[in-house]
Structure 1
Amino acid sequence: MVYDIGKLTHETLLGPIAAAEDALARLDERVARSEVGAGFAERADFFDSVSSMWIGGELVHLEDLVLHDAQMDIRAPSHELVIAHRIVRARRRVSRNDPGWAVSRSGIMALAGVAEETSVEAEPVDRGGEGVELDLIHHEPLSPELAEIDDVLARTQWLVDGNAAVEQKKREPAYSIGELLIRDPDWDEGERIGEWLELAKKVERLPATLAAAVLWDAWEHLEPLQRQHWLGLLLVSDYLRLRGKVRSHLLTFAVGLREIPRERRRARDRTSRLVAYLDAMSAAAAAGMKDIDRLALAKRQLERKALDKRSTSSLPVAIDLFLSRPIVSAHMVAKTARITSRGALNLISELGVREITGRGRYRAWGIL
């Protein structure tokens, strides 16, 4: 399966490209200079994870994801919730690494949890008419006699291990029946990842936003990974960081895609799909601008309530927590500020943050 860039309709793409480039540049500058930029980036991980699961057809509640991340689950975590939390952890890992780390074979394998195949280099040794074999064991010989014995033992062990491995391979099937239900044995993930990485080199001549849209369309077409399709959204965001379009944070590309109707995202015409992806970047930037404005206003209002407090007050700690999490529980405040649950409830009441759940138990507050 090969993805061909082909000829792009620049007349149709120029407008969305310009809008996406401008929107992302404005958002990047705003986040870099804002006093709530760090909190915005942390909140973005949760929003993007929930949106990514929504695009894949799964529903994960934001409240459950935040509580699961804080190891305060109110029920046994579902399979979808575990995957959503894996997306959050993957975004944090990409953010900690250098731009472009994820857009590499080693980065993709590490994020997907797939061990790369490593080959052990062995030096071929001629055994004098007995064929060329691999000298797998290197010992410093104590004497010529002992060296000869070690050589015979090494050859014998190598032959025994080789024959045993062959017999075991004949007896055991390559895939079990259960694994065949979730894995396609003909699905060559390494080859497909290689094709996608080759495409990433070819699109360097294109504008950053258009190149990212092409890479996401190619990921949808090639489907390099069988069970971690969500990773493509993360790679596109890191690619924009690599190209210098969004340096201050990791773009919430899934949040923008969620605003685009499915008919546009799944259109048969590739140009229509690319326009939809570019509009998704603009939508993600617009949502980010609104969120950072909301956080900046909330920070100023909360800090006013912390004025004239003693230097040992836990209010600043609680404020930072509210700015970095979409939803906060009393236990999360107590754990972060190292106070009692009753003291955490008093802090929340003093800050006057809006309650989200409205329940008697497992109450939560947040800035939404």
Structure 2
Amino acid sequence: MRYKSPDPYHPTLIALMISAEDALARLDERTSRHVVEDGYRERGHFFDAAAALWVAGELVHVEDLVLHDAHMDARAPTHELTIAHTVLRARRRIWLAEPGWALTVPGLATLRGEQAAAVDGGAPIQTHALRTHDAAGPSGPEPDDDEQGNPMAAEFAAIDAAIARSQQLLDEHDQDTLESAERAALIVKPEPLGQLGLLFDDEWDEEARLAEWRETLSAADRLPPCLGAALVFDVWDRTEPLRRQHWLGSLMVGAYLRSRGKVLSHLLSFNTGLKTVRHERRRSQDPLVRWSALLEAMTMTAELGLKELDRLSLARTQMEMRIRDRRSNSSLPALIELVLSRPIVSAGLVARHVGVTPRGALNLVRELGIREMTGRGRYRGWGVL
């Protein structure tokens, strides 16, 4: 489809752009100097991954995502939870890489999982060597004098010959089956039916669509950072380069703003602000309405981030006051760092990270006075609201 871009310097967009630029600059400056910078950045990965599924119309609980990431699932993971964890790992991969890496061809290939499909060429050689050794069995070396004097040598030789003949028949059968399959593949090409046709559409050229999307990066670089990020996301959302990884477009917003030097302290949790905008505005046919909604989402993301920093700062101050007179080798400071870096923690998660028993983890949580968030008897969780 042909993408229609609005006037980037429309009076409506200018006012929203100034608001978004100012809000993101304040968030980045405050985060880079804040004492809970690491905890805020790690919590943002979890919240944005859950919000990405919310924008797509699926519900994933943050506590389930935290436990799944720690390999401590309370139940069998759902398909939506697996996708949310994929978003979480993609965000961490983008953050650990250089700014702008996710926008390059190698970066997109890695995020798509193409590098995991490398084929090792050693296996066929090894298989061929084994078959050559088996085929050479009947014509192997002559038996020595001890074997000639063995009364069972003739029986063993007959058994070896029978095994060699069986192996030869099996190899011939495998070769005939392979040739038949190759001839059938040349004659008949099955067509995808039902839902498989939606997942594997031959006419949906992902490489061409990705190349078309990457061409917009040069046009986005000529705009202010927020307008450029809106262009990058809107083109991705309208053209859908990757149908099974559509959520990757929202991660490109944070990667692009980081490459432009607008948000360097963390990877922007764009989905947390995007979920506050009505679906009718995000998916409107009017490009001006869509861009306005995206700029408002950036402003809302920054405002939510500033409120999150205030909550974490207040929680850290309160917990540090509780451990002021504790001994120097107490496990409570490590628990504080864990609580500030996760949206929710369980007794097993505390025991693993702090290095205590589950009973000791419960005692530490009780001494620290963390609020319980699950309200259930089993698989209890605590965190900072």
Number of the residue aligned with 1:12: 12
Partner residue of 2:174? none
Q: After TM superposition, list the pairs within 5 Å mapping 1:45-84 onto structure 2.
A: 45-84=45-84
Aligned to 2:314: 297
Q: Deviations over 1:246-268 (max 9, x none)?
A: 00000010001111111211222
> Is residue 170 from structure 1 mapped to residue 186 from structure 2 by the alignment?
yes
Aligned letter for 1:349? R
Q: What's 1:104 paired with?
A: 104
Q: Match for residue 150 of structure 2?
A: none
Q: Aligned with 1:309: secondary structure?
A: coil
Q: By how many angstroms is 1:227 displaced? A: 0.4
State the Cα distance separating 1:175 from its structure 2 match: 6.4
Q: Is the 8 A contact 2:374 2:381 kept in 1?
A: yes
Task: Work out the CA distance in 2 between the residues paired with 1:335 and 1:64.
Answer: 17
* Amino acid across the alignment from 2:243: Q
The 2-side partners of 1:241 and 1:259 are apart by 23
Equivalent residues of 2:273, 2:297 under 8 A apart: yes
TM-score (norm. length: structure 1): 0.84
Q: Displacement, 1:341?
A: 0.5
Change (3 A) 1:174 1:247: farther
> Alignment partner of 1:246: what SS?
coil
Aligned with residue 199 of structure 2, among 161, 182, 205 = 182
Q: Alpha carbons of 1:210 and 1:82: their partners in 2 closer, same or farther (altered >3 Å)? A: same
- 1:43/1:324 contact within 8 Å kept: yes
Whether 1:314 and 2:339 are equivalent positions in the alignment is: no
Aligned equivalents of 2:345, 2:328: Cα separation in 1: 23
Question: What is the CA-CA distance between 1:308 and the residue it aligns to?
Answer: 2.1
Secondary structure of 2:289's match?
helix
Asked if structure 1 preserves the Cα contact closer than 8 Å seen for 2:192 and 2:200, the reply is no
- 5 Å-filtered alignment, 1:1-368, equals 1-5=1-5, 7-115=7-115, 167=183, 170-171=186-187, 173=189, 177=193, 179-368=196-385
Is the contact between residue 2 and residue 195 of structure 1 (CA under 8 Å) also seen in structure 2? no
Supply the distance in 2 between the matched residues of 1:6 and 1:36 (Cα, whole angstroms): 39
- Structure 1 stretch displaced more, 180-189 or 350-359: 180-189
Structure 1: gaps of 5 or more residues = 119-162
Aligned counterparts of 1:116 and 1:89: Cα–Cα separation in 2: 15
Structure ranking higher in helix proportion: 2
Structure 2: how far apart are the matches of 1:305 and 1:77? 37
Q: CA RMSD in A?
A: 2.0
Identity among equivalent pairs (%): 51
- SS state of the match for residue 365, structure 1? strand
Task: Give the Cα separation in 1 of the matches to 2:181 and 2:6.
Answer: 47
Q: Which structure has the larger Rg?
A: 2
CA contact (8 A) 2:90 2:111 kept: yes
Q: Offset at 1:78?
A: 0.3
Matched residues in 2 for 1:287 and 1:212: separation?
Answer: 19
| Aligned equivalents of 2:106, 2:35: Cα separation in 1 | 34
Distance 1:254 1:2 in 2: 26
Q: Supply the distance in 2 between the matched residues of 1:96 and 1:175 (Cα, whole angstroms).
A: 41
SS in 2 for 1:34: coil
TM-fit CA distance, 1:60: 0.5
Q: Distance in 1 between matches of 2:310 and 2:236?
A: 33
For residues 180 and 355 of structure 2, the distance between their equivalents in structure 1, rounded to whole angstroms, comes to 58
Cα deviation for residue 86 of structure 1 reads 0.5
Quick one: distance in 1 between partners of 2:270 and 2:341? Answer: 19
Q: Distance in 2 between matches of 1:222 and 1:71?
A: 36
Equivalent-residue separation in structure 2 for 1:174 and 1:201 (angstroms):
41
Shift of the 280–350 alpha-carbon distance from structure 1 to 2, 3 Å rule, reads same
Deviations 1:29-60 (A, max 9, x none): 01100010110000001110111101101111
How many residues align? The count is 324
1:267-296 deviations in whole A, cap 9, x for unaligned?
221111101100000000000000011001
Deviation at 1:321, TM superposition (A): 0.4
User: TM-score, structure 2 length as denominator?
Assistant: 0.80
Shift in CA distance, 188/294, structure 1 to aligned 2, threshold 3 Å: same
